[in-house]
Amino acid sequence: MSEGILALASYRAVGLVAAFAGMIACRTDGNSDSVRNSSETKDNMSITKGTVSASTETRADRTLRTPVVLFFGTSLTAGYGLDPEQAFPSLIEKKAADEGVPIKAINAGLSGETTAGAVRRIDWVLRTPADMVVVEAGANDSLVRLSPDAARANLERLIAAVRAKQPQTKIVLVQMEAPPNYGVAYTRSFRSVYTDVAKKENIPLLPFLLNGVAGIARLNQPDGVHPNLSGERIVADNIWKALKPIVAQLDRGSQRG
């Protein structure tokens, strides 16, 4: 049995649909497009009489660029109910810095987002250049039992849109799951959407976003759907563990300060 199945099996059947429905009903104000752009640190060099010493120039040449990682998703990415710095993209940014592979994390989560909505929104979000786009989409689709084929098509369109807008951007997909009480056939079909898309598009697939958090009351907010800070830290740990080797391969080309 996969980790996704084990994580989701812990959900209580009673009230599950109502709890998940809260994800769709979440207010978008305060969470929509919570895009956070941080500016790069510049090396202020003093130049005397228009000359730069060889050692100073060498130091400038060795200044590495910090890659931009755009986390694009739903209220689960936005950090619904939490402060912005407590959402898992921000927690991952801190982990990356601590472990010597710094990134700039941009949180483009939107409460209530669907895969169809993501396709419509991605061009606007990609006005910010990104080295990597981490796609978390589909949770809200499963709540209304959207056809897995429709979700698959939307994800493929989303990936095509990213490639058209920013061809050099690395794309990573996050596994999502349908509520277990929707029936085995649907949950299996929905789960397979992500493996199918990742294989077809030749992109990395990260583990289920809520592994070790879904269905555990002490790790979630009262709605039973969105992680609290303790749960969010587990999400960040899980995603970063899988994402780190991919981030480590991003181009950090030298730049002048």
Q: Given the residues 32, 34, 75, 90, select the one marked as catalytic.
A: 75
- Whole-angstrom distance, CA of residue 7 vs CA of residue 210: 7
- How far from 70 is each of 135, 190, 219, 220, 236, CA to CA, in Å? 9, 24, 25, 24, 15
For residue 10, indicate whether it is catalytic. Answer: no
Helix, strand or coil for residue 20?
A: helix
For residue 83, indicate whether it is catalytic. Answer: no
Amino acid at 141: D
For residue 251, indicate whether it is catalytic. Answer: no
- Whole-angstrom distance, CA of residue 149 vs CA of residue 154: 9
- Whole-angstrom distance, CA of residue 76 vs CA of residue 210: 9
How many Cα atoms sit within 13 Å of 209 on the Cβ side? Answer: 28
Q: Given the residues 33, 189, 196, 223, select the one marked as catalytic.
A: 223
Q: Which 8-state DSSP code applies to residue 193? A: H
Helix, strand or coil for residue 206?
A: strand
Beta strands 68-73 and 132-135: pairing type? Answer: parallel
Q: Given the residues 90, 111, 142, 226, select the one marked as catalytic.
A: 226
Query: Catalytic amino acids?
Result: 75, 223, 226
